[in-house]
Amino acid sequence: MTSTGDVELDTQPLRREIDAYHAHQPRPDRLLAAVRSATFSVPSSEHGALAVVPHRGLRWLLVFSSTTELRAYQDRHGDDNLLRVRRCTGAWLLDKLSRRLPPGPPVAVMIDVTGSRPLSLPISGAPPSIGSSAARR
């Protein structure tokens, strides 16, 4: 895997809002704003295909809020097919990526899938929203 460097991204606003969400004290507007302004590491293949995992009728795009979370996923799953890492904002994931997806099942972003506080958000088939039980893992 291409090194993402040892510099962690500033994820404190995002972490705060995800923690509040998991504590059943969601602030949907703040959480969505934190996701949109955060920068994520998005693994991809050597050909540029993003890490998408089909599960239960959805396509899950795996994104990570830190290199620590990304390494934990790789260590746990040993996915050697994910050779590169892109950096992109949550706004790009929610707004732009949804327009570039090929037809198929709906897509959701899964933030820190192997972490202690993952979060999922729909990006196709429904507008990005937070606050419904469907957005919880």
Cα dihedral across residues 96, 101, 104, 106: positive or negative: negative
Instruction: Give the pLDDT confidence of 20-51 residue by residue, as tens digits.
Output: 999 999 899 999 999 999 999 998 877 777 88
- Each residue of 46-85: pLDDT tens digit? 777 788 888 888 888 999 998 888 888 888 877 665 668 8
Highest mean pLDDT (candidates 5-14, 21-30, 116-125): 21-30
Contact assessment for residue 72 and residue 29, using Cβ atoms and an 8 Å cutoff = no
The dotted CATH code for 12-135 is 3.40.1350.90
pLDDT of residue 79: 63
